[in-house]
């Protein structure tokens, strides 16, 4: 049996986005981003890896499923 890992960005009160669909309250810059990329490189979309300098092999996930609006960002 395969192990399922669930990784999602959410606020302390379990919100993923505002009612209007925006998620501008999540910090997209700062020291924490390097740590997230180091721990979960496969969470960076493939088409952005080169631009962000992500060279690490996948560590945790075989596949990543993103919603359309998250992927578009």
Domain ranges of the chain: 31-72
pLDDT of residue 73: 67
Report how far residue 27's alpha carbon sits from residue 66's, in angstroms, rounded to the nearest whole number.
Answer: 18
Sequence-ordered alpha helix ranges (H) in the chain: 31-39, 46-52, 68-72
Q: Tokens 């088409």 appear where?
A: 47
Please, is 40 exposed, middle or buried when counting C-beta atoms within 10 Å of its C-beta (0-12, 13-18, 19+)?
middle
Averaged pLDDT in 10-residue chunks for the chain of 73 residues: 80 80 78 85 83 85 75 72
């Amino acid at each position: 049996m395969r192990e399922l890992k669930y990784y999602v960005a959410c606020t302390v009160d379990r919100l993923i986005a505002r009612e209007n669909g925006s998620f501008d309250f999540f910090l997209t810059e700062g020291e924490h981003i390097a740590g997230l990329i180091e721990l979960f490189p496969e969470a960076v979309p493939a088409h952005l890896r080169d631009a962000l300098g992500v060279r690490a092999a996948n560590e945790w996930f075989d596949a990543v499923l993103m919603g359309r609006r998250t992927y578009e960002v």
